[in-house]
Structure 1
Amino acid sequence: MRYQSPDPYHSTLIPLMISAEDALARLDERTNRHAVEDGYRERGHFFDAVAALWVAGELVHVEDLVLHDARMDARAPTHELTIAHAVLRARRRVWLAEPSWALSTPGLSALRGEQLAVASGDDAASADPDQQPPLAHGGGEQGRAAEYGEEDEVNPMAAELAAIDAVIARSQQLLDAHDQDALDLAERAARATDPEPLGQLGLLFDDEWDEQARLDDWRQAIAAADQLPPCLGAALLFDTWERAEPLRRQHWLGSLLVSAYLRSRGKVTSHLLAFNTGLKTIRHERRRSQDAITRWSAFLEAMIVTADLGLKELDRLSLAKTQMEMRVRDRRSNSSLPALIELVLSRPIVSAALVAHHVGVTPRGALNLVRELGIREMTGRGRYRGWGVL
């Protein structure tokens, strides 16, 4: 299906485009010179990963994601939590790379997981135990003697050990034959009930769905997006992704690539825009409307909301940092409170175990530090307590 782009300079889109351009410019300028830039950027990774699952219809708690990222899960991680952590790791990887890396062929391949290629012939041979060279001491009775350091003397148990090896070998042959008979029987039964079996996962996936071709078609839209203002170009790329759906198991990658595109255009350079935090406030009917102008309008409104939320987050973090620094003003130079302030500003929520691990104190000491810093408790649970900046 070929994507039909609407008129990017439609009268409905122009005011929204101007507002989005202005809002993102103000957010980027303020973040670039803000004292909590690093903490704001790291917190944005967590909030956007959780919001990406929200947009997809799944619920993940941000405190669970923080603990899972620190390998301190309070419970067994769910499938949705695992996906959210994949989004989190992808955002960090995109941010640490060059601005245009995510949109390049190597970048897209890496984000799709294709960098895990099959090892080379030499590596595969060294990793395959069946291809390993024989032991230096040989096999059979001589090898066993060399293994136990008995090369120079006759092993009195050699005959008995050889008999045991023979019995084990015959038993293994019988088991292998029985397993093969069972497999043959199962295959005949399957052919009898289903003469034309479906391919692998044929009931779940469409074999004609060519992800690579769809992804190549989407990348061709980048050239057209470069001819538009950054926000309209991002709208074009996001809407193209939503309509084409190149990756079925990584649909969340579209919003991440849009944020990377805005960074490559120089629109948002201080951080990786947490676009999903604003997108989740837009009604589903507008985001998935059949009318392209409505979808583009929803996208631009989401960018405006994202920028407003980012400015409010900077205000909260700035105020919290000032209040916490006032509490440690007269502390000794080797106090652990400054390290705790850094942790609190870089995570949406912290637990006693996380504080103890990051600061290097005992769990009891972590509770004392939290009490001294006056951080607000956010969970209200008896068995699991968390603190953070609201």
Structure 2
Amino acid sequence: MGYEIGELPLRTLLPEVARAEDQLARLDEIVRRSPVREGFAERGHFLEAAASMWISGQLLHIEDLVFHDAHMDIRSPTHELVVGHVILRARRRVAGAEPGWAVSEAGIAALTGAERITSPKAPGISDERGGEEDEAPPDDDDDPLSRELAHIDAMLERSRRVLDGIATQAPVAVREKPSLVVGELVIRDAGWDEQERLFEWHGVRSDAADLPPVLSAALLLDAWEAIEPLQRQHWLGSQLVATCLQARGKVVSHLPALNVGLKAVPRERRRSFDRTKRLLAFLDAMCLAAESGMKEIARLDQARQLMERKLRGRRSTSSLPAAIELILSRPIVSAAMVAKAADVTPRGALNLIAELGVREMTGRGSYRAWGIL
């Protein structure tokens, strides 16, 4: 641990800082004025989750992630898919909260699931889901499956406490660390002080508060990579940096997808021993992410205009608008997803897809899916 900002080579960094600031501001204004901004933001969550897994060296197919999120898996979920869906849900929660909530103590506790262990209340549904009634925004995945999983988590937690000789209703101090059992030593380092590392990262955030927002974000991302505050949720760093850009007012219309840009930067630059090269790589990644976002939203806007031509002369009760909205908000859709969103039969969903003229993406005879190229 230990990260000092020190003296920065501003003559080298400032041109890239200005370029990144300009690109992010342009994208923010385009998204704010675009009629497809909600679909762009939702698609960005999926793309960012897949890119985050790619950055960590794991391959996750967008198709599997979309189907898993819709509870329409075509195969048993893999470990990569489960982690990717966790990233997707966390990003949605960050995007739906107030700017800056995610970097607060309550926000980090909610996103990391620490509330499940540190909450002084008795285990229950609301606590096991990691939410707070006053400080944290409600989880958008409030469905029967989530409630059932919350019940199971609560039961497993009570069973673990009984097996460990801990009373079920015994209060737990907020700062108390959970004891490690033998099995957890394989995946957790007992000497890894996450609270201390997070405190140090927040110190870097305070020291960089007077710097330009984009340069501050690059330093925060570099500090997160160097300090590694979290053992098992390292992917959270880019989401916290993105919400810092929102809190500074640099991007207000959406949550930036930084990993989409980082994916296009060679690993040798992202992992260089020279900090200046790493900062330049992070700044370049922000520019690439903004350029990719501008191309994506222009493509979505063009696709929307083409599909909305099909609505001319349609009845007000037509199911086409619901199908268009779904297709614009997902990188890929299935007939079952369209049928559920438009409240039609699977055969009717296929007819809607054929009318809209979207392209089949999988090339398969079964488990087919469609999307916008």
Smaller-chain TM-score bracket: 0.7 to 0.9
Cα 1:366/1:221, change in 2 over 3 Å: same
Determine the C-alpha separation between the residues in 2 that align with 1:84 and 1:121.
Answer: 30
Which residues of structure 2 form unaligned runs of 5+? 125-180
Give the letter aligned to residue 68 of structure 1.
H
Give the letter aligned to residue 38 of structure 2.
D
Answering whether residue 342 of structure 2 is matched by residue 359 of structure 1, we say yes
Answering whether residue 267 of structure 2 is matched by residue 301 of structure 1, we say no
The 8 Å contact of residues 54 and 60 in structure 1, kept in 2 or not, is answered as yes
Give the letter aligned to residue 30 of structure 1.
I
The 8 Å contact of residues 52 and 276 in structure 1, kept in 2 or not, is answered as yes
| TM-score normalised over the length of structure 2 | 0.82
Name the SS of the counterpart of 2:370 in structure 1. strand
Determine the C-alpha separation between the residues in 1 that align with 2:349 and 2:361.
Answer: 16
Determine the C-alpha separation between the residues in 1 that align with 2:62 and 2:278.
Answer: 28
Which residue is 2:3 aligned to? 3
What does residue range 362-377 of structure 1 map to in structure 2 within 5 Å? 362-377=345-360
Higher relative contact order (CA 8 A, sep 6+): 1
Offset of residue 331 of structure 1: 1.2
Offset of residue 372 of structure 1: 0.6
Offset of residue 117 of structure 1: 4.0
Offset of residue 9 of structure 1: 4.5
Which residue is 1:52 aligned to? 52
Determine the C-alpha separation between the residues in 2 that align with 1:10 and 1:204.
Answer: 40
Give the letter aligned to residue 301 of structure 1.
D
The 8 Å contact of residues 23 and 308 in structure 1, kept in 2 or not, is answered as yes
Determine the C-alpha separation between the residues in 2 that align with 1:275 and 1:242.
Answer: 14
Per-residue CA shift, 1:185-219, capped at 9, x if unaligned? xxxxxxxxxxxxx9553344322111111111111
Offset of residue 122 of structure 1: 7.0
Determine the C-alpha separation between the residues in 2 that align with 1:64 and 1:378.
Answer: 13
Determine the C-alpha separation between the residues in 2 that align with 1:215 and 1:121.
Answer: 24
Identity level (%): 55
Offset of residue 44 of structure 1: 0.4
Which residue is 1:325 aligned to? 308
The 8 Å contact of residues 263 and 269 in structure 1, kept in 2 or not, is answered as yes
Which residues of structure 1 form unaligned runs of 5+? 125-197
Name the SS of the counterpart of 1:281 in structure 2. coil
Give the letter aligned to residue 65 of structure 1.
L
Residue number among 273, 294, 310 corresponding to 2:256 in the alignment: 273
The 8 Å contact of residues 48 and 274 in structure 1, kept in 2 or not, is answered as yes
Cα 1:353/1:121, change in 2 over 3 Å: closer
The 8 Å contact of residues 6 and 292 in structure 1, kept in 2 or not, is answered as no
The 8 Å contact of residues 208 and 216 in structure 2, kept in 1 or not, is answered as yes
Cα 1:363/1:283, change in 2 over 3 Å: same
Per-residue CA shift, 1:315-351, capped at 9, x if unaligned? 1001000000011111111110011010011000000
Which residue is 1:383 aligned to? 366
Name the SS of the counterpart of 1:380 in structure 2. coil
Determine the C-alpha separation between the residues in 1 that align with 2:48 and 2:70.
Answer: 17
Cα 1:341/1:106, change in 2 over 3 Å: same
The 8 Å contact of residues 5 and 292 in structure 1, kept in 2 or not, is answered as no
What does residue range 196-275 of structure 1 map to in structure 2 within 5 Å? 199-275=182-258
Cα 1:15/1:352, change in 2 over 3 Å: same
Cα 1:22/1:121, change in 2 over 3 Å: closer
Cα 1:338/1:17, change in 2 over 3 Å: same
Offset of residue 120 of structure 1: 6.1
Offset of residue 380 of structure 1: 1.1
The 8 Å contact of residues 4 and 204 in structure 2, kept in 1 or not, is answered as no
The 8 Å contact of residues 333 and 369 in structure 2, kept in 1 or not, is answered as yes
The 8 Å contact of residues 230 and 262 in structure 1, kept in 2 or not, is answered as yes
Which residue is 2:161 aligned to? none
Cα 1:101/1:359, change in 2 over 3 Å: same
What does residue range 84-103 of structure 1 map to in structure 2 within 5 Å? 84-103=84-103
Cα 1:216/1:118, change in 2 over 3 Å: closer
Determine the C-alpha separation between the residues in 1 that align with 2:114 and 2:288.
Answer: 34
Give the letter aligned to residue 81 of structure 1.
L
Which residue is 1:30 aligned to? 30
Give me the CA root mean square deviation.
Answer: 1.6
Name the SS of the counterpart of 1:320 in structure 2. helix
Cα 1:203/1:354, change in 2 over 3 Å: closer
Give the letter aligned to residue 8 of structure 1.
L
Farther off after superposition, 376-385 or 236-245: 376-385
Which residue is 2:148 aligned to? none
Cα 1:210/1:322, change in 2 over 3 Å: same
Cα 1:8/1:25, change in 2 over 3 Å: farther
Per-residue CA shift, 1:66-118, capped at 9, x if unaligned? 11111111111111101111111001111111101011110111111012247
Determine the C-alpha separation between the residues in 1 that align with 2:103 and 2:348.
Answer: 46
